[in-house]
Amino acid sequence: MDRVGQIPDRQLSDEQRMMRETCRRYVDAVVRPFIADNREREWTLTDPAHRLPPGILEEADKAGIRVLGVPEEYGGVRLDPATEAQTFAVIATEISRGDTGLADKLVQNWKIAVLLRALAPAHLQAQLFGAYMSDPQYLMAHCLTEPRGASDRWLPYNVPEAAMQTRAVHEDGYWRIDGRKQFISNGYDASLYIVYANTNPSVGMLEGTSSFVVPRDTPGLEVTRCNETIGGRYMNNGEIVFDDCRVPDDHLLARDDALRSAGVYFRPGKIIVAAKNLGVGIAAFEDTAAFVQERVQGGKVLIKHQAVALRLAAMATKLEAVSALLQRAAVAVDHGDPDAGALCDMVKVFASQEILSVCQHAVELHGGYGAMLEVGIEKYLRDASVFLHSDATSDVASFKIVKELFPATAGVYAGSE
C-alpha cells in the first residue's frame, strides 16, 4: 500500500513530486532530528524569539521552501496556478510532518506572499519582496483577529455592530491606525504585518473593512506579548497594539472590501490548515506504527494484540479520509468551483476532529511512554488540539457550511433576520 494519508506519487504532477521530495529531504534531515534532540526546548527557552534556531529557516531558504508564492521576478518559486492550492497542500502536509509550528511560520509567509502578489502595487512588491528575499529570518503576519468578536470575522456577521474595533482614518496623505490585534500567527516576531481595520463604521463589515501593509518598525506599532500556546509552539503567536500608527497612502491594499479581496488568501488558507493538521496525524501514525511493531507486551509484539490492531486500523482509515476530502477541497479551490467555500470549511472541521482522534490513539498505544515529554508522542496530541481553533473554531466553521448549503434558510447569527 502507498504511504498512509498521502497522495501517491503517481497522482502528482512532476512539479508536485519534486516539491514534496524537496520538503521530505528537508524535514527528515533537518527538522525531525532537531525536534527529537530538543524535546524540552519549546518549553524551557525563556525568549520565544530564540526557540527555533536560525539554521532551521536558513536551510528552508536554501531548499527554496521559504520563497513559495513570491513572484519569480523577485527570486521566488512559481507554482502552477492551475494546481496551486493542491501543491500548497502537499507541501504543508510534509512540513507539518516535521513540526506544525515551523509549518505555520512558513505558511503565513506563503499566504501573505500570494496576497501581496495579488493586491500590492508593483513598487511596493519590489520593496517588500526584496526585503523578504534578503533575510531568511523575515516573517510576515496577518492581523485580523481582535480581543472582541474573533468569530465575527469568520462568519462574518455583516452588521455595523460587529465591525472591527481597530480603526483607520485617512489624514493628509497617510492612514492613522488605532486598535489591538490578538492570536496573530507569527505576530511576536514578524517583520511585516497585514492589518485589517474599520474604515467605514456606518456599513457592514464586508463593506467597511480595509487592509494595510505595516512594517514592524512603523512608529505606533507595538508587539506586547507572545501567547504561550499548548501546541505549535515553534510559531510565536502574538498580540499587537496600534497607537497613532501612521502609514502612507500606498500602503493601503484594499479599501472597504478587504475581506472580500482576501479570498485569494482565505480559501487556500483553509486548505493549508487542514494539510498541516494531516501532517501531524501522519507523523503520529508512522511513529506509532513503528512502536507497535517493535514493542513486546504480554509475550507478543504489540501489533499482534487485537485491540492494538483495531486502533491502528482506525488511525489509518481516518488519515485516508482526511486526505481524500483535502484533495477534493483543494481541487475545488484551484478550479474556482461554487462549492469550494463549503468544502474548505468541511475539511477544516473534519481534519481537526479526526486528527485529534488519531493522536489520542497514538498516545494510548504508547502506554506510559505516550505521556513522556522525552518520547515526543504527547507533542502530536498537543499540536493537534490547536487546530480546533485555527482559522475559526469548529463550530463557527460549521455555521459557515450550513450557510453555504442552505443560504435561503440558514440563520444570519447576528443582526435582524
CATH number at residue 186: 2.40.110.10
Verify that 268 and 254 share a domain, yes or no: no
pLDDT tens digits along 218-239: 999 999 999 999 999 999 999 9
**Cα separation of 1 and 114, whole Å?**
35
Verify that 194 and 249 share a domain, yes or no: yes
94 half-sphere exposure, CB direction, 13 A CA radius? 25
pLDDT in the model for residue 323: 98
Verify that 377 and 399 share a domain, yes or no: yes
Name the phi and psi angles at 96, rounded to 5: -70, -20
**Cα separation of 189 and 203, whole Å?**
34
**Cα separation of 34 and 52, whole Å?**
9
Verify that 254 and 272 share a domain, yes or no: no
Which of these three, 213, 237, 258, is where a domain ends? 258
CB 16 within 8 Å of CB 87: yes
**Cα separation of 213 and 210, whole Å?**
11
Which of these three, 84, 109, 134, is where a domain ends? 134
Residue 177: inside a domain: yes
**Cα separation of 255 and 249, whole Å?**
11
Quick count: other Cβ atoms within 10 Å of Cβ 137? Answer: 14
- How many residues make up the chain in this entry? 417
**Cα separation of 335 and 260, whole Å?**
18
pLDDT in the model for residue 202: 84
CB 70 within 8 Å of CB 132: yes
Q: What angle do CA 408, 162, 397 make, to 5 degrees?
A: 55
pLDDT tens digits along 333-361: 999 999 999 999 999 999 999 999 999 99
Verify that 39 and 72 share a domain, yes or no: yes
Residue 39: inside a domain: yes
Residue 417: inside a domain: no
Report, in angstroms and rounded to the nearest whole number, the Rg of the chain calculated over CA atoms.
Answer: 21
Verify that 387 and 326 share a domain, yes or no: yes
CATH number at residue 336: 1.20.140.10
Residue 213: inside a domain: yes
Residue 168: inside a domain: yes
Q: Is 54 exposed, middle or buried (0-12, 13-18, 19+ CB in 10 A)?
A: exposed
pLDDT in the model for residue 205: 80
Q: Which residue in 43, 64, 42, 66 sits closest to 53, CA to CA?
A: 42
Series of mean pLDDT values for 10-residue runs along the chain (417 residues): 91 95 97 95 85 95 92 91 94 97 94 92 95 96 84 63 86 94 95 95 85 97 94 95 97 90 78 96 98 92 95 98 98 95 96 98 96 94 94 86 89 64
Which of these three, 134, 161, 182, is where a domain ends? 134
CATH number at residue 91: 1.10.540.10
Residue 286 identity (one-letter amino acid): E
pLDDT in the model for residue 63: 93
CA distances to 305, 308, 311, 347, 366 from 293, rounded to whole Å, are 11, 10, 14, 31, 12
Verify that 128 and 193 share a domain, yes or no: no
**Cα separation of 241 and 219, whole Å?**
11
The total domain count for the chain is 3
First vs last Cα of the chain: how many Å apart?
A: 52
Quick count: other Cβ atoms within 10 Å of Cβ 318? Answer: 24
Domain hosting 74: range is 9-134
What are the DSSP E strand ranges found in 227-349? 238-248, 252-254, 296-297, 300-301
Give pTM, 2 decimals.
Answer: 0.94
Q: Which residue in 172, 170, 183, 182 sits closest to 212, CA to CA?
A: 170
Verify that 69 and 167 share a domain, yes or no: no
